Amino acid sequence: MERTFGIIKPDAVERNLTGKILEKIEGAGFRIVGMKKIQLTKTEAEGFYYVHKERPFFNDLCAFMSRSPVVVLALEKEGAILAWRELMGATNPANAEAGTLRKEFGVSIEENSTHGSDSPESAAFEIPYFFSQLELV
């Protein structure tokens, strides 16, 4: 079994889409091993997205991710990282395939409703950024 990390982003939480997204996650065969609704501070968002600190969108991304609550998730499934990326769809909802979370729920490339680990290395950083081992069941 592989674990990956996901976020239901502020745009989706604000529009009360959390339940619909969770239903699709479980329907795709993922086991939710950690979940909590939190409000990130700008500093916490900056720490999480530090790999993008030199990119022009960094400040806007951190402001967006800290503007309202998010739902953070630790997900488990065979091939979880790739399967979660496929379920989310392309970063830009306009380019995402039908049936993906971003196509169905995303508003724009900036407000695309979900985040997910893109590699085992990022999952290894992202899961413990938000969850202790005691919180993963």
Catalytically annotated residues: 115
> Length of the chain in residues, anyone?
137
CA 76 centroid distance within chain: 14
Residues 43 and 64: their CA atoms lie apart, in Å, by 12
106 touches 29 (CB < 8 A): no
The pair phi, psi for residue 6, each rounded to 5°, is: -140, 155
